[in-house]
Amino acid sequence: MNEVEKYIAQFEPEIKERLIVLRQLFFDVVPGTEESIRYKMPAFTVGKEHLYFAAYKKHIGFYPVYGLTEMEEQLTPFRAKGTKDSLHFPHNKPLPVELIKEIVRLKGKKG
């Protein structure tokens, strides 16, 4: 079990399932994605960019999401209050899988 798998394994089943889905999206969208733990959270290298996620009591945080002006309308509903680069995916709502795929795809292209 690698460090990212250990991170995911510590959560309750419902959250763990969401994290597994999120993690897999990186590999589906950008084959060869490298993963590690940075800043005590899973980090994924897509191109020259790094994207991170972290689980919290009420949501999954997804970082950093800036420089995607072409998607701002889609990102706004998930934007964390007072930030320009953080998204929150509440546990009581489905993961926006297609949105996440597009973020990963675009960040991978920029890198």
Are the beta carbons of 26 and 46 closer than 8 angstroms?
yes
Q: What global pTM score does this model have?
A: 0.92
Residue 75: pLDDT band by 50, 70, 90 thresholds? very high
Across residues 79-98, what is the average pLDDT? 94
Integer Cα distance of 106 and 3 in angstroms: 26
Helical axes 97-110 vs 13-29, angle rounded to 10°: 40
CATH number for the domain spanning 68: value is 3.90.1150.200
Query: Who has greater pLDDT, 49 or 28?
Result: 28
What whole-number distance in Å separates Cα of residue 52 and Cα of residue 97?
15
CA atoms within 13 A on the CB side of 2: 9
Which residues constitute the domain of residue 96?
3-110
Average pLDDT, the chain: 94
Domain count, the chain: 1
pLDDT confidence of residue 69 = 87
Task: Identify whether the C-beta of residue 69 lies closer than 8 Å to the C-beta of residue 59.
Answer: no
Report which of residues 66 and 18 the model is more confident about: 18
Alpha-carbon distance 79 to 110, whole Å?
Answer: 21
